[in-house]
């Protein structure tokens, strides 16, 4: 496996807070973060396993994953929310309320 350590700030500049939090939560001792493998930035490398965290649509990583799975073991992590909250704010009254929507 051609693997090189990358400049950490390059791979993390455009990631959102959810992506960053999931990456920190998913990492284990000994994992490598933001490593270049075969020309692609990989979120987490755990031995021979490449772990990609995706919080947007899959079209953004289609080519990357298609190429990597030819010779590598790849795990894609995609968070699915259990529930969604909508917070309503009143323009006229100084209050707010929350509506929870269960996703199951």
pLDDT surpasses 50 at 6: no
- Cα separation of 17 and 27, whole Å? 16
Of 13 and 98, the structure prediction assigns the larger pLDDT to: 98
The alpha-helical segments, DSSP class H, found in the chain are 8-12, 17-26, 62-68
Whole-model pTM?
Answer: 0.70
Q: Which of 84, 76, 82 is nearest to 100 (CA)?
A: 84
Residues making up the chain, counted from first to last: 104
55-96: pLDDT as tens digits:
988 898 999 999 999 999 999 999 988 888 888 877 777 777
Domain that holds residue 65: 3-102
Total domains in the chain come to 1
19-29: pLDDT as tens digits:
999 999 999 99
- Cα separation of 18 and 87, whole Å? 19
Output the pLDDT for position 82: 81
What is the token pair recorded at 71? 């010779």
Torsion over CA of 58, 64, 67 and 72, rounded to 10 degrees? -90
């Amino acid at each position: 496996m051609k693997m090189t350590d990358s400049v950490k700030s390059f791979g993390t500049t455009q990631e959102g807070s959810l992506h960053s939090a999931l990456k920190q939560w998913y990492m284990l001792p000994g994992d490598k973060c933001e490593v270049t493998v075969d020309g692609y930035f990989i979120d987490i490398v755990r031995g021979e396993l490449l772990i990609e965290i995706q919080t947007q649509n899959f079209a953004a990583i289609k080519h990357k994953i298609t190429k990597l799975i030819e010779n590598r073991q790849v795990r894609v992590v995609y968070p699915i929310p259990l529930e969604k909250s909508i917070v309503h704010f009143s323009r006229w009254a100084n209050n707010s309320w929350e509506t929870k929507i269960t996703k199951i």
